[in-house]
Amino acid sequence: MKKGLILITAPVHPFLVETLKERGYEVIYEPAMDYDQMEQLIPGVQGLVVTTRLTVDRNIIDQAAQLEWIGRLGSGMELIDAHYATQKGIRCISTPEGNRNAVAEHTVSLVLCLMNKICSSFEEVRNGKWLRTENRGTELRGKKVGIIGFGNTGTAFSKLLVPFDVQVLAYDKYKKGFSHDYIEEATLERIFAEAEVISMHVPLTNETFHMANDAFFYRLQQQPFFITTCRGPVTETSALIKALDEKKIRGAALDVLENEKIALYSENDRSDFENLLSRPNVIITPHIAGYSHEAFLKMATVLLEKLDRT
């Protein structure tokens, strides 16, 4: 007998679909589904699986008469009105444990590529240039690394820094008492004053929207390398470009953009995007930090494990 209907609105590992079916659920797997299609189906849905594409707002929740849980593959609940859903008795589940290591490894990769000019020097070689002195790198070893946001991904990133003998200055507004060994709980002011690398790992909330703005970059004292693998709107694009122009930062590596819908860019968006792409000290990857093959499976596994706890 079918237990109920599960609606999956994004690409997921086949293991998730197969396991839910084995457990007796009916599964609708529509990874390209749009908001209107979700709205049509939601009244009969018992479980909803989403990622970062569709908004689960009050309208959807009010129509979800049979909805018991919403599963978010990955971290960040900014597209889900989780507070309202909880009030309606709907369980909201995120799976940051599933892709935190993938994000951490990608962040380390961005740091090393940026500091050692890997991407820009490779592009020069492709164009027939063999410039050694101009591409002299900067070692990560012994540096002070500021981590802003010390949750799942920030903590995972810090663990991968052990071999580099760095000092981690970590800030988290909602977490205390985590200093140990090479990790020191720090204020934002200390990170601004001392960090030579800064990596952003905060969720997108009203508090963190445009957290990296003009005032943020103006306070940086060590001309650090700036890395972000969290959410695009945490960083204000115009402020980032200004910080690069004024050499408040030595370079930037971004896995996320304030606006990631490149095909729909306005003239100003396109100008800012091309400005960043033209710089040899900027690296941009297409929001893939938490999207490794291993994480694709593990996020599904974590969601199933958490559902089992109900």
The residues annotated as belonging to the active site are 231, 260, 287
In angstroms and rounded to an integer, the radius of gyration of the C-alpha atoms of the chain is: 21
Strand partners, 148: 171, 200
For every residue of the chain, which 3-state class applies, written as one string? CCCCEEEECCCCCHHHHHHHHHCCCEEEECCCCCHHHHHHHHHHCCEEEECCCCCECHHHHHHCCCCCEEEECCCCCCCECHHHHHHCCCEEEECHHHHHHHHHHHHHHHHHHHHCCHHHHHHHHHCCCCCCHHHCCCCCCCCEEEEECCCHHHHHHHHCCHHHCCEEEEECCCCCCCCECCEEECCHHHHHHHCCEEEECCCCCCCCCCCECHHHHHCCCCCCEEEECCCHHHECHHHHHHHHHCCCCCEEEECCCCCCCHHHCCHHHHHHHHHHHCCCCEEECCCCCCCCHHHHHHHHHHHHHHHHCC
Torsion of CA 146, 151, 152, 153, to 10 degrees: -30
Measured in whole angstroms, the distance separating CA 55 from the mean position of its chain's CA atoms is: 17
Give the number of other CB atoms < 10 A from CB of residue 114.
25
